[in-house]
């Protein structure tokens, strides 16, 4: 099993950060069939066969940790690029 761990700073309010996380989760569900749910501690957990992980929101940063099963190992670099792209799109500070 392989792991991806990415932490990025963001400048969103807690409400906007949660909405951004929901948008990422909905995209992942549509594209990869991942199921997701918010835990009691405010962590967004997601999974499907061969992939599981968590997205954690803090005041000024977002962290995603993904565990890939053997069948998804060849796609690790692609998943990492896609996570960075999602973070750029959803969590980047908006200019006024």
pLDDT one-digit tens code per residue, 37-76: 999 888 999 999 999 999 999 989 999 999 999 999 999 9
How much of the chain is in helix, strand and coil states, percent to nearest 5? 45, 35, 25
Q: Compute the C-alpha angle 66/60/58, nearest 5°.
A: 50
Distance of CA 90 to the CA centre of its chain: 10
Asked if the structure places residue 95 within a domain, the reply is no
pTM of the model: 0.86
Asked if the structure places residue 42 within a domain, the reply is yes
Asked if the structure places residue 75 within a domain, the reply is yes
Asked if the structure places residue 34 within a domain, the reply is yes
Asked if the structure places residue 94 within a domain, the reply is no
pLDDT one-digit tens code per residue, 71-96: 999 999 999 999 999 888 888 765 54
Asked if the structure places residue 76 within a domain, the reply is yes
Asked if the structure places residue 19 within a domain, the reply is yes
Range of the domain at 62: 2-89
Number of domains comprising the chain = 1
Task: Tell me how crowded residue 2 is: count the other CB atoms within 10 A of its CB.
Answer: 12
Residue 16 backbone dihedrals phi, psi, to 5 degrees: -70, -35
Q: What is the CATH number of the domain that holds 63?
A: 3.30.310
């Amino acid at each position: 099993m392989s792991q991806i761990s990415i932490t990025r700073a963001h400048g969103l309010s807690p409400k906007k950060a949660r909405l951004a996380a929901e948008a990422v989760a909905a995209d992942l569900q549509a594209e990869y069939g991942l199921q997701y749910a918010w835990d009691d501690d405010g962590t967004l957990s997601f999974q499907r066969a061969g992939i599981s992980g968590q997205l954690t929101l803090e005041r000024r940063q977002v962290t995603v940790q993904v565990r890939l099963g053997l069948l998804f190992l060849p796609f690790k670099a692609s998943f990492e690029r896609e996570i960075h792209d999602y973070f750029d799109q959803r969590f980047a500070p908006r200019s006024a």
